[in-house]
Amino acid sequence: MPSEHTEIQVRPGGEGDLAALTDLYNHYVRETAITFDTSAFTPEERRPWLLSHPVDGPYRLMVATDTGSGRILGYATSSPFRPKPAYATSVETTVYVAPGAGRRGIGTLLYKALFEALDSEAVHRAYAGIAHPNDASTRLHERFGFRHVGTYREVGRKFGRWWDVAWYEKEL
C-alpha cells in the first residue's frame, strides 16, 4: 500500500502497462461485481482492449502510478458507448483503483485527467454504468457532474445473485 507521501503521476497508458493493468482488472473480475466479466484474462487477451485506447482521440486510457515505485494505482477509460455510428459522440467511462489505493483520491485524479483530455475531442456525452451497491463510485461520478438517468434492475448475474446497474450521464 502506498505511503501518505507518495507522489502520483497520471499519464496515458501504454504497452508497458498491459500486465499490471490486466492484474488490476482481474482482481475486480474475481472478487467483485463491479465488472460483469466472470473469467480472468491473460495480458494477450487484454491487448485488443489496450490498443483500442490510443493516446489521442475520444477513447482514452489514463493510468495513475506511484512515481517512486512505478506501481499502477488505477486507471480510467473512455470507450465507445455503443457500436452504431450515431453514438460516435458518446463515450462510456470507467475507473478502476488498485486495492488499498482508494482513499487517496486516485479516482478523482484519473477522472480529472480523462475529462481534461476529452475537452478537445468531439464528444458530447459521457455515460457510466455502476453495479449497485457501490457508494464510492456513485459519489465519484456525482462529484464530476454525472446525474442518475435510470437503473436496469437485475440485469447481471454474478456470484450466484442478481445485480442492478445504475446509469449516469454527464454533458461534456
Alpha helix ranges (H) inside 32-86 = 43-51
- Looking only at the bridges linking them, the beta strands covering 125-132 and 161-171 are antiparallel
What is the pLDDT, as a whole number, of residue 104? 78
Local structure of 2: helix, strand or coil: coil
What is the pLDDT, as a whole number, of residue 50? 97
What is the pLDDT, as a whole number, of residue 103? 66
Most distant CA pair in the chain, distance: 46
What is the pLDDT, as a whole number, of residue 1? 42
What is the pLDDT, as a whole number, of residue 107? 96
Rounded Cα–Cα distance for residues 87 and 102 (Å)? 32
What is the pLDDT, as a whole number, of residue 117? 97
Q: For residues 101 and 122, is the Cβ–Cβ distance under 8 A?
A: no
> Could you tell me the three cell numbers for 29?
473480475
> Could you tell me the three cell numbers for 138?
456513485
> Could you tell me the three cell numbers for 162?
442478481
> Per-10-residue mean pLDDT for the chain, 172 residues long?
69 97 98 97 98 96 95 97 96 95 86 97 97 96 98 98 98 96
Neighbours of 147 (CB within 10 A): 10
Rounded Cα–Cα distance for residues 127 and 141 (Å)? 10
Exposed/middle/buried for residue 2 (C-beta within 10 Å: 0-12, 13-18, 19+):
middle
